[in-house]
A and B are shown apart, each in its own frame.
Chain A
Amino acid sequence: MAEGVRDKVAIVGMGCTRFGERWDARPEDLVTEAFEEALGDAGLERDQIEAAWFGVFYDEQNVGKSAYPLSQYLRLPNVPVTRVENLCATGTEALRGAVYAVAAGACDIALAMGCEKLKDTGFAGLPERTKGTFEDLYQPNFTPPGAFAQLGAAYAAKHGLDMGDLKRAMAHVSWKSHENGAQNEKAHLRRRLTMEQILNAPTVAYPLGVFDCCGVSDGAACAIVARPEIARSLVGDGFVTVKAMQLAPSNGVEMGHQSWDGAHTLTTRKAAARAYAEAGVSDPHADISLTEVHDCFSITELVLMEDLGLSDDGAAPGDILDGRYDADGAIPCQIDGGLKCFGHPIGASGLRMTYEIYLQLTGRAGTRQLASPKFGLAQNLGGIPNRNVAAISIFGRND
């Protein structure tokens, strides 16, 4: 077993735009906004970036293919730039590229940038895309809410839950994120909601209502990573390090084999086990101080609490209703508002999660600041429950 990346790479600067309906901004503006914040945060010059990874998901709009838009926007001095895409884990994949490069010694300072401009479709949804020439012939014409709604039906059936009871726990997930988003000036959705408003919202895809769904947002986020010695020279001890980065894509079992029950994300469980081992986390309840998980839909966050080992199987609804994952709970989840309210510009989301954990670990989260966080965990789920890419990153401090 490889020794992994634990403490081999530091995050020395981060930036994140305001997420939302950024009618005012093109990808160039979003990327520049995030990058300038990160550069100032790190105290570095632009030409000190030795390599970059650029995460964008949709080819259908945004910046098109290839990595050169990032090189062009930032006028990088012809250093290597690679475009990465791995569904909703795209932002985290950009970070993984940069982290692996530094950990490998291929460069000392690297940039991970994620950007998505979703609000150019002309309608209030995601662009339609092909699933490939063969899969288009038989895959259902699902939408993201419809694909994730499957978890609700299967979870309720597996645990013998009344759908009304499950929906109350799901509604609490959204209620909590709206409470948190209201505290975050960079968040897309900043309005508080009542449980009644959430529960009485129109159905989008049974059992998901409008407020079970995350925002469709524009935004960019980035991280500058470096060797720990460089971090020490820049900020002294107490800098943020990468404890683990793990990725687990589906291999077709969920889609085609009956062993999967439809009520959990198999890949998250695989990635979590590896990430906890890499980070040296033996007891997630004790070591993980906060999580930023892929709450594209309320039901996703609910099952992820079990998949990450934070709730026992079947116990997530009760834990959620007990406030365990609220801002003042034992292990706050989406304290920045999450995908739900901070927003979900796909290529930027993994880096946005990292940004909040970075702020929390460096004590700069303002009114959201937690007392002495130890480890923060970010989890992305790209794709849909039956076939996806789960990315888990764990961050802490070097001291």
Chain B
Amino acid sequence: MSGFGILSAGAFAPRQRIARAAIADAMSWAQPALKSAAKGVRAFAAWDEDPITLGVEAARSAVKSAPGVRADQLCFASTTAPFLDRQNAGVIAAALDLPAETFVFETSGGQRAATSALIAAGASRERATLAVAADVRPVRAGSPLEMQAGDAGAAVLLGPGDPIAEFLGANSVYADLVDHYRTAETGVDYVLEERWYRDVGLSRLAPSAAAPLLEEAGVSAAEITHLIAPSANPSLAGATAKALGVDRGRLADSLYDYCGHAGVAHPLLALVETLKTARPGETVLVLGFGQGCDALLFRTTEALRDFQERAPAPIADDPYRTEENYLRFLSARGAIDVDWGMRAERDNRTAHTVAFDKSRAITGFVGGRCRVCGTPQFPKSRRCVNPDCAALDTQDDYRFADRRATIKSYTEDWLAFTREPPLVYGNVSFEGGGNVFMEMCDFAPGDAAVGAALAMRLRIKDVDTQRGFHRYFWNAAPAEGGAHG
């Protein structure tokens, strides 16, 4: 317990993936070159997923795989976080039900936001940092990035203890090199020529950042087992490997075939997925590019085996659903404005007085458990719900978010307003007790059944279009899919 490094890690990709061929079929009339990239699937956030919800799922996976470890601080890294001025990281911390004393902050401003957070975390060997990253990149229809990007989240818990990968050091260089940018005005990325960036950016920045690090750590390029060199176009990674003198065969999986490039989250995502299959004693060099280069060096330990037993399967093995309808993909991203009828006019104004007062219930999914009769219940109430008890003020906090459950009853409602009909919801019975009438997610029509196993997911609950706000609550998802299956 004297080391310092990665204590745990988690990743999450949405259940929906769109076939790139479907994008090419829809858009190659405008951009014939898309056909050449039309391989595999890319992950995309459902209408009710965003960087916060993706980050939460990745973080839950990391926390679950590190029982007994408490994060002293949480950093959320994203360039597409939903709120410009309301701490997004605070929502994630609340969803994890972290103590109020946790130091919660966020990083943004470029594609290195997550790797830089890890470097900062590595500077203090006394504190455990949960670095969470997620991106849902806005893309223009028919753009190369629409094919390349994939929405996902990743989390790495870095701190003192018995690491699964020892932290060997980090280094960073900056360069105000505009290979792409995005502003509030552009809305989407404006991308410059890749060949220029490959030759003047990646191939020069990677050695500048990594060489001093490797030298100080006494690690040669040949000793690097896994090189994580993210770029939106995965074919550019070869140039980075070549510049570093690392064999191309050591390049980590780009995740292109089943996920896509996850923006800020991608270096961490590739790291997490590498750790799920690496062997003890291997050296991992993680690079993060974006107006410079971050480099972090890790060496896996024997503890990796325990992590691999606890951790979920690689996201490559996720049971995903392939979307073939490009318009549904666009709708999920808010790129087309579907007429949902008058039911969509409901005023979803949030009473923030109540939302704050009930924050642990709503964002943390914390209910109560009666000390007298032991009945778990949601929401926590003054009197126990058990008809044979009804004791007053006897409930201790009881978190439902990480408990398994089954469907007691359900419907697929084609009348209710949702941006992805039908709205599936029903009565959910929790293991250990408790019944909650709640919305479900990730069930395609015909998938739900009484008795089906469920796991909880934080999702966007309602959108207040009048005031530009949205709020979150938990949904019940099929238990077999994703990080908590």
Contact = CB atoms under 8 A, between A and B. Distances in A.
Contacts of A151: 409
Interface stretch (B9-17, B32-40, B379-387): B379-387
B415 A146 contact: yes
B415 A145 contact: yes
Contacts of B429: 258
B112 to A, nearest CB: 36
| Chain A binding surface, main DSSP class | loop
Interface in B122-157: none
A146 B361 CA distance: 25
Interface string B433-445: 1111111000000
B385 A256 contact: yes
A121 interface: yes
B351 interface: yes
B25 to A, nearest CB: 29
Nearest to B436: A256
Contact of B342 (A122, A140, A146, A257): A122
A150 B410 CA distance: 5
A157 B450 contact: yes
Nearest to B407: A153
A52 to B, nearest CB: 33
A138 interface: yes
A336 B362 CA distance: 45
Nearest to B471: A137
B384 to A, nearest CB: 9
Interface in B298-350: 341-343, 345-348, 350
A260 interface: yes
Interface stretch (B62-70, B185-193, B271-279, B420-428): B420-428
B375 interface: yes
A205 to B, nearest CB: 4
Contacts of A286: none
A139 interface: yes
B354 interface: yes
B411 interface: yes
Which of A136, A147, A259: most chain B Cβ within 10 A?
A136
Contacts of B471: 137
Interface in A136-160: 136-143, 145-147, 149-154, 156-157
Most buried by A among B341, B435, B474: B435
Given A138-B379, A139-B437, A386-B427, A205 B350 contact: no
B435 to A, nearest CB: 5
Contacts of B351: 133-134, 136
Contacts of A73: none
Given A125-B343, A142-B413, A146-B413, A252 B354 contact: no
Interface string A245-272: 0000001110111111111000000000
Contacts of A153: 409-411, 426, 450
Given A153-B450, A205-B411, A205-B413, A138 B343 contact: no
Given A134-B354, A258-B435, A140 B451 contact: no
A106 interface: no
Given A256-B385, A259-B387, A154 B342 contact: no
Contacts, number: 143
A9 B173 CA distance: 89
A260 B409 CA distance: 11
What range describes how many residues of B lie at the interface?
A: 35 or more
B360 interface: no
A252 B381 contact: yes
A138 B385 contact: no
B416 A141 contact: yes
Given A128-B345, A151-B409, A157-B450, A204 B414 contact: yes
A123 interface: yes
Given A146-B416, A153-B411, A386 B354 contact: no
A133 B354 contact: yes
Q: Which of B346, B347, B414 has the most CB of A within 10 A?
A: B414
Interface string A194-226: 000000000111111000000000000000000
Q: Which residue, of B387, B416, B429, B473, has the highest number of chain A Cβ atoms within 10 A?
A: B416
Contacts of B386: 257
Contacts of B378: 256
Given A133-B354, A255-B437, A259-B387, A141 B381 contact: no
Contacts of A262: 408-409, 427
A344 to B, nearest CB: 16
Contacts of B409: 150-151, 153-154, 157, 262-263
Contacts of B379: 134, 138
Nearest to B417: A141
Contacts of A137: 350, 354-355, 358, 362, 461, 471, 473
A136, A140, A257: which has the most chain B beta carbons within 10 Å? A140
Contacts of B353: 133
A142 B461 CA distance: 12
A229 to B, nearest CB: 43
B418 interface: yes
Given A140-B425, A146-B416, A157-B450, A257 B343 contact: no
Contacts of B354: 133-134, 137
Contacts of B348: 136
A161 to B, nearest CB: 11
B415 A128 contact: no
A386 B429 CA distance: 13
A268 to B, nearest CB: 16
Contacts of B358: 134, 137
Nearest to B425: A140
A12 B413 CA distance: 44
Nearest to B446: A206
> Of residues A137, A152, A154, which shows the largest number of chain B Cβ atoms within 10 Å of its Cβ?
A137
Nearest to A257: B385
B439 A140 contact: yes
Given A122-B342, A140-B425, A258-B435, A146 B385 contact: no
Which of B378, B422, B450 has the most C-beta atoms of chain A within 10 angstroms of its own C-beta? B450
A140 B423 contact: yes
Interface of A: 121-123, 125, 128, 130, 133-134, 136-143, 145-147, 149-154, 156-157, 203-208, 251-253, 255-263, 386
18 contacts: A122-B342, A125-B342, A125-B343, A136-B462, A138-B438, A138-B473, A140-B423, A140-B425, A141-B417, A142-B425, A146-B411, A146-B423, A146-B425, A154-B408, A253-B385, A255-B435, A260-B435, A386-B427
Ranked nearest first, the 3 interchain pairs of A and B with the lowest CB-CB distance are A146-B413, A133-B351, A149-B411
